[in-house]
Amino acid sequence: MERFIPDELIDRIREGVDIVSLISEHLSLKKTGQNYTGLCPFHSEKTPSFVVSPAKQIFHCFGCGAGGNVFHFLMKNENLTFPQAVRSLSERAGIKIPEANKRDEKIEDAKEPLYKANELTMEFFSKNLAEAKEGEKARLYLEKRGIEKKTIQEFNIGYSLPQWDAAYRHLRQKGIDTAALEKAGLIIRKDSGDGFYDRFRDRIIFPIFDLKKRVIGFGGRVLDSSLPKYINSPESPIYIKGENLYCLEKARQEIGKRGYLLIVEGYLDAIMTYQKGIRNASATLGTALTPGHLRLIKRFTSNIVLVFDPDSAGKKAAIRSASLFIENGMKAKVASLTEGTDPDTFLREKGVDAFVDKLKNSEKLLDFVIRETKGEEALSSIDEKVKVVDEVLPLINRLPNKIERNAYVRRLSEELQLDEKDIFAELENRSQKKGYKPEEKKQSLKTGTAHSNLQKRMSHSGAKAEEMLIHLMLNDESIAKRVKDHLSPDDFKDHLFKRVAGIVYNVIESGKEFNTVFKTEDAEIASLFSALSMRELDYDDREQSFYDCVQKIKGAGIKERMKDLQEKLRIAEKNGDKDSSRQILEKMKLLKQ
C-alpha cells in the first residue's frame, strides 16, 4: 500500500524537475519558437505533433492527445501509478520522501552495498577486457563476432581474469565487504569453508542493468568449450531473473517509437540487434518468460515479437509463452529465422534488411502454435488430430474476443479437416468443465484520444461554448467563481468538461489555492488540461466571451429540455392523458420565459 505523499512535497518535486530535460532523455526535441517539438513516443507518426512547453512545464501531443506534466509523462511512458511516478522523480529532484516504515528503509539501505559491489566489479571487468594481457583472447573473440569497440563500451562488456580470486582480492582492496560480495553472488565460499573464490573466471562478461541503470547482475560466456557456455549471477536481493530483461533499459525509448518489444534469447542477440540499429530488443536471462517479465514489459507495450532460436528448444519456448501472453492481454507474434541461425548470426550473415523483412512477415503467435503443433504434413490419424486439438484448444479458449475465438476454431477445422461444429462443442465442453468463461474485454478509450481534436469530437449544440468557457475558467479564478453561480456541472454536456467543472467548483468551495485544480492523477483530465493550455483561444473581450458562453450553454440546455418535453407531450396526448399534458405545457411555458 502506497504511503500518502503530502501535496507540498509533490509540488516541490514537480517544480524541481524540468520537463524539457526529462523528456529529452526519451526522445529528440527541437526548439520551435517558445516551445519544443518532437515525434510522439506514444504513437507512430512522421510529422512531429508532440509539443513541450518549458514556460508551462507541460507536454501535449496534437496527434494522439496525450498530455500533462512531468508526472503524467512518466506515468504514460513507463506505465507507472501516480505515487510511483512521484517517488521516481523525487530522486531526480533530490527530494527525499519518507519511507513507508523503518523496515522498508532498512531493506533499501541493505541493497546499496550490493549495487556498489556490482558497479566496481563491472569497472574491473571492463578494464580487464581493455587492458589485461589475458583479455586478448576475449578481444579477438568479440572482434570475430563483429562486436564493435563502441558497442563494447555502450554495453560495458568485460572480461573476468582466469585466476581463482582476482576479482575478490581487487574488491576487498576497494573496501567492499565480503558479506556483500557473497550476497551479490560475485564470490563462492570454498567447500572447506575456509575462504572464497570468484564466480566468474576466464569469461566474457555482460553486465545486467535494471531500469534505473544500476548493475544488478552479470552473465558470463565461456571461452573454453569444455565448460558450460554461460553462467549467470544467482538471484539476490537486487536481482530476480523472472523480473528483469537484458537490455530493456536501453530498449525502452525505442519501444515507444516502434510500438513493440522484440524479445530474443541471448546477450549477443540483443547486442547485435542494437548495434545494427534495431534498438527495441531485449533478451531473457537464461529463463523462460514469466508473469513478472510481462508485468515489466506492459509498462512499455503490450505488443511483442518473439525471435527465439529456430531450433526445437526455441520453438518450444515460443509455444510455452502463448498462454502467458493471452492471459495477460498481450499481442505476440513470432519472426521465424532460417534453421540453424540465431538473430546474431542471421544479422551478420544476411544483413539488416533481411532481418527486418523477417520481422515484417512475423506471424501471430497462435498461428505459429497451430502450424508448429500440426507440422508441415497433413495428419491422417485421428489420434494425431486430437493431440493437436488438445494442445491448441486451451489457448483458443482463453482468447477474450469471441470473434477471434470463432475464427481460430474455423482455422483449426480447416487445418485438421475436422467439422468445426465438433470443435465448437469440445470448446464449450471444456469451458463448462473448468468453469472458465472468456470475458469480452471492454474497449478502453486511449488516454487523450478523446481530445486529440476538441472541435471534431464535440458535435452537440454549445460544444464550442463549453470549450471556451472551461478555458476561461482554468485561466481566470474570478471567472470560474462566476460560472459556478450560473451553471452546474450537469449543464455541461461533454463528459470531461462536466468533470472539470466539478473539480473547479470543489476547489472553490474548499477554499484551497486555485492551482490545486491542476493537481490531478487522472491522465485523461491531465490530457484535457494540457490540450486547453496549449491552445491559444482568441478573446476580443473576456467579459463578453464569458457572458456569451454562459448564455449559449444555457440556451443549448433549454433547447434539449424543450425537445424532451415535446416528446413527452406527444406521448401524453397520444394516450389521452390530459393531466400530464397540462403539466408538461406548464413546464414548457416556464422554459420559454
Confidence of residue 454 (pLDDT cuts 50, 70, 90): very low
Whole-number Å distance between alpha carbons of 208 and 118: 10
pLDDT for res 462: 66
Please say if the pLDDT value at position 413 is more than 60: yes
Confidence of residue 459 (pLDDT cuts 50, 70, 90): very low
What's the mean pLDDT in 487-498? 87
Q: At what angle do helices 70-78 and 523-534 cross, to 10 degrees?
A: 130
Confidence of residue 256 (pLDDT cuts 50, 70, 90): confident
| pTM score above 0.75 | no
Cell triple for 391: 494442445
pLDDT for res 579: 87
Whole-number Å distance between alpha carbons of 250 and 246: 9
pLDDT for res 1: 42
Whole-number Å distance between alpha carbons of 31 and 52: 9
Strand 303-307 and strand 196-198: the pairing is unpaired
141 against 450, higher pLDDT = 141
What's the mean pLDDT in 461-466? 76
pLDDT for res 115: 96
pLDDT for res 447: 38
The answer to whether residues 251 and 305 touch, using CB atoms and an 8 Å cutoff, is: no
pLDDT for res 422: 87
Please say if the pLDDT value at position 517 is more than 80: no
pLDDT for res 450: 38
Residues 528-585 have pLDDT tens digits of 888 887 776 666 677 888 888 998 898 888 888 888 888 888 888 888 888 888 888 8
Task: Give 76's strand partners.
Answer: none
Cα–Cα distances in Å, from 242 out to 231, 291, 591? 16, 8, 66
Reported as type and span, the H/E element at residue 411 is helix 402-416
Whole-number Å distance between alpha carbons of 523 and 13: 18
The answer to whether residues 549 and 471 touch, using CB atoms and an 8 Å cutoff, is: no
Please say if the pLDDT value at position 161 is more than 80: yes
Residues 286-335 have pLDDT tens digits of 788 988 899 889 888 889 999 987 777 777 888 889 989 998 889 999 99
In this prediction, what percent of the chain has a pLDDT beyond 70? Answer: 91
Whole-number Å distance between alpha carbons of 297 and 248: 9
What's the mean pLDDT in 182-197? 92
pLDDT for res 4: 63
Query: From its phi and psi, is residue 203 left (phi > 0), alpha (psi between -120 and 50) or beta?
Result: beta
Confidence of residue 149 (pLDDT cuts 50, 70, 90): very high
pLDDT for res 456: 44
Which of 279-288, 358-367, 512-521 shows the lowest mean pLDDT across its residues?
512-521
Residues 468-479 have pLDDT tens digits of 899 888 888 899
* DSSP reduced 3-state for 287: coil
Angle at 281 between CA 275 and CA 283, to 5 degrees: 105
Whole-number Å distance between alpha carbons of 419 and 585: 64
CA 138 to chain centre: 36
Q: What is the mean pLDDT of the chain?
A: 86
Which of 82-86, 163-167, 170-174 shows the lowest mean pLDDT across its residues?
82-86
Whole-number Å distance between alpha carbons of 36 and 120: 38
Whole-number Å distance between alpha carbons of 146 and 73: 37
Task: Give residue for cell 454536456.
Answer: 493
pLDDT for res 101: 52
Which phi and psi (to 5°) does residue 197 adopt? -135, 160
Confidence of residue 434 (pLDDT cuts 50, 70, 90): low
Look up residue 371 and give its amino acid.
R
Cell triple for 77: 511512458
Which of 50-54, 98-102, 199-203, 498-502 shows the lowest mean pLDDT across its residues?
98-102
Whole-number Å distance between alpha carbons of 39 and 141: 39
Which of 122-126, 248-252, 261-265, 453-457 shows the lowest mean pLDDT across its residues?
453-457
Please say if the pLDDT value at position 497 is more than 50: yes
pLDDT for res 457: 41
Burial of 150 (0-12, 13-18, 19+ CB in 10 A): exposed
Which of 41-55, 194-208, 506-520, 533-547 shows the lowest mean pLDDT across its residues?
533-547
Please say if the pLDDT value at position 524 is more than 50: yes
Whole-number Å distance between alpha carbons of 168 and 184: 12
- Residue count (the chain): 593
Confidence of residue 442 (pLDDT cuts 50, 70, 90): very low
pLDDT for res 167: 97
| Radius of gyration from C-alpha coordinates of the chain | 31
Which of 244-248, 456-460, 490-494 shows the lowest mean pLDDT across its residues?
456-460
How many CA atoms within 13 Å lie on the side-chain side of 75?
21
Please say if the pLDDT value at position 112 is more than 50: yes
